[in-house]
Structure 1
Amino acid sequence: MSLFGDIAHAALSATIGPQKSTGARLLERLDNSTQLEDKREAIAEFRDLSASEPLRLVDRGGYSVLVKLLREEDTEVMRDTLETFANLFDSELPKGREDDAAEVKAMHNVSVFLTRDGSVSDLMLGAENEDVYARYHAVQALMRLLGLARRQTQEAILNEPTCVGRLMGLVEDRCASECL
C-alpha cells in the first residue's frame, strides 16, 4: 500500500473507531431502533447468530437490551428474544464444536443472567404469551437455566413473588407441562 493509502486508511480508522463485532452491532441496532420491522429483523439476525456462534454477553449491554425486549408488545420480537435466550443458555450450541466453548459461554450467560434482579420474572412473561412458540422457548430457556444452575434459578424464582405465581400457572397449563 502506498504512503497515501496508509495515511487514508489510518484517518478512516480513526474516524470510524474500532471495529465492532456483528453481535455488538446488532445489539446496538436493537437498542436504538424505533421501527418495528427493523427491531424484528435485528432480533431475528441476533437469534441466528446466537445459534451459530458461542456468544458471551455482559450485563450492561447485551442482557439489558434483550431483557427490555421481553417486555415488547410484539409477539414476534418476544418469541425471537426468548429463542435467543434459549440459545444463549444452551451448552450444546453451536453444534459440532470440538472444544468446550459452548459450555463455557452457556455457564457465563446463565451466571450473568441470574445476577440481574427480576430477570427470571421477565423471562417467565413469555410463558404467559398466547403464542405457542413463545411459550415453548420460554420453557426451554427456563429448563436450560435449571439444568446449568438449579440452585440459583430456584432461589431467583422463590425470591420473586410474581415468579411463583407464574410457575404455578405453567404447572397447571397442559401445553407447558408437556414441554417440561
Structure 2
Amino acid sequence: MTGCDTAATPLLDVSELSLGIGETGRLVVDRVGFQVRAGEIVAVVGESGSGKTLAARAVLGLTPPAIRRRGGRIRIDGRALDDMTARELRALRGGRIGMVFQEPMTSLNPSLTIGRQLEEALALHTGLDAAGRRAAILAMLTRVGLSDPERVLKAWPHEFSGGMRQRIMLASV
C-alpha cells in the first residue's frame, strides 16, 4: 500500500493498538485492530468494560490522562495520528471524524439549544456563513428523520428521548 493509492488506503487503520494505565500498569486494550474504508460501516463489539470506548477515544486522540498508548498504530487517511499537531487533531475532530456515544447527554451541552450546538461545530469546521450553516443544520436534521427540524433547532437536549438525542448526534457527523 502506498500513500498515493487512495483506493487501497483505508480512511481509518488501527493496528495492534494497546492501551494501559500509565507506563507500567494494567493493559486495558490489548492489540486491537480494524480498518474502515470509504462506504463501510464497522462495529466494535465486546462486553462491557472490554475497552471499546477507550479504543475509539484513542482514534480521536482523546484518551483520559492516565491512559497511555503502549503499542500499535492509528492512521487516518494514511497519516499517523502521532504525526499530527494539536491544531491538526482539533481540525480533524468534528471536521473529518466524529464519534456518537451510547449516551448522547454526555456529548450535548444542556445549557445550549440543539441549533446552537450544531451551528458551533459548523462554524469551526466549515466556511459557511450564518444562513449556510442554518440550511446545512436543517438538512442534517432532516437526513436523520427528524420530522420538525425547525422545532429541534430551538429545543434543549432534555426535551428529547435518548434515541432522539442519538439521532441529533448522528446528524452532526
**TM norm. shorter chain > 0.5:** no
TM-score calculated relative to the size of structure 1: 0.32
TM-score calculated relative to the size of structure 2: 0.33
Instruction: Compare the two structures and name the one with the higher strand fraction.
Output: 2
Instruction: Compare the two structures and name the one with the higher helix fraction.
Output: 1
Structure with greater Cα Rg: 1
